Amino acid sequence: MIETREFIATRDGTLEAYGFRPETGEPFPVVILYMDAPGIRGELFDFCRRIAGHGYFALLPDMYYRLGRIRFEMRDLAEGSPGRARMFEAMQSLTNELVMSDTRGMLQHLATLPHVKPGPKGCIGYCMSGQYVVSAA
């Protein structure tokens, strides 16, 4: 498994994302995994590794990049906690327009990578991101 950090130019700055792909067999079709509200964490890396293990280039964008490099710990997100309130503030900072703008940047970036297969792309919306997948499709 090859894992990379990708820095993607968007209208609003540089989006940090993580790429996962098999070591052989390129070019690979793409699957973008739009994160859920708790954001970037080990569970989503594992999810992308599973996708890549089936022969795909999986891209995991940090959709909260406009707010800085935010990482939430699941143990800090209990009902009524300050961490949960911050997570919901981060989630509410996103709009469909912003995410589709970012998606355009991701697609442009992906088109420059030699290990990415041209053509249709797939996407998975995880919880809060289901709405974004429908728009991206």
Per residue in 60-119, pLDDT (tens digit) is 999 999 988 888 677 767 787 787 788 788 878 999 999 999 999 999 999 999 999 999
Average pLDDT, the chain: 91
Rounded mean pLDDT, 43-72 = 93
Q: What is the largest CA-CA distance in the chain?
A: 47
Which residue has tokens 């949960």? 84
Among residues 16, 5, 18, which one has the least CA distance to residue 51? 18
**In b/e form, how buried is each residue of 28-53, taking b as 16+ CB within 10 angstroms?**
bebbbbbbbbbbbeeebbebbeebbe
pTM of the model: 0.91
pLDDT at 82: 80
Whether the CB-CB separation of 133 and 123 falls below 8 Å is answered with yes
21 pLDDT higher than 90? yes
